[in-house]
Amino acid sequence: MSFINYAAREINVKIVFYGPGLCGKTTNLQYIYEKSNPQQKGKLISLATETDRTLFFDFLPLDLGAVRGFKTRFHLYTVPGQVFYDASRKLILKGVDGVVFVADSQEARMDANVESLRNLEENLRENGFELKTIPYVLQFNKRDLPSAMPVDDMYRLLNFKGEPTFEAVATKGIGVFETLKAVAKQVLYELRSR
């Protein structure tokens, strides 16, 4: 849960990038890291295997500036996408404020997308959250690949509750900040009611 520190006038928000293996979660974070001002960002931490597959999580702290006199700091996490790391995924969702689901647009990966989405729903529930109510954004990544499935078909298959959906090419940065902004917006709006 977001942590508002009234003494330091600071608010910390946790956003998790979820999705099947190799869909581009880490790439999203790397692009955000590259394009952010040095004063805004902390270190990008990647707990990865020797072959650069995420082992536990990637972590990027991002200071976005002040809202109503409160410093807003976003903690961006990714989960390991590979199926057998489920125990780790569950841990990372603890205390999450907003979720980005990164879907792989390649037709061959649709089953993996659907499975990962179900897994997200289940793991959120185990942490006391519902996908229906939590701030949530969907991203169709790898739109530049020739084998990318039509957006409409993907939308029908993966859109869960009419959440904002973005087309992206994370390697080139297309759609990355739009996605982040959309989820940040939902999270901050959610805070209004607290």
Q: Which residues of the chain form contacts with another protein (CB under 8 A)?
A: 1, 3-8, 11-12, 14, 37, 42-43, 45, 47, 56-57, 59, 61, 64-65, 67-70, 72, 75, 77, 87-88, 90-92, 94-95, 177, 180-181, 184-185, 188-189, 191-194
Answer for the pair 117, 109: CB distance below 8 angstroms, yes or no.
no
Give min distance, CB of 97 to another protein, in A: 9
Kindly tell me which of 114 and 185 has the beta carbon lying closer to another protein: 185
1, 16, 60, 107, 116 from 128: Cα distances, Å: 11, 15, 24, 32, 18
For another protein, the closer CB: 102 or 184 = 184
Task: Give the residue with the Cβ less far from another protein, 4 or 114.
Answer: 4
Could you tell me if 96 and 75 are in contact, meaning their C-beta atoms sit under 8 angstroms apart?
A: no
In whole angstroms, the minimum distance from the beta carbon of 133 to another protein comes to 17
Report the candidate in 172, 22, 44 with the shortest Cα–Cα distance to residue 102: 22
The pair of three-digit structure tokens given for residue 173, joined into one six-digit string:
């940065």
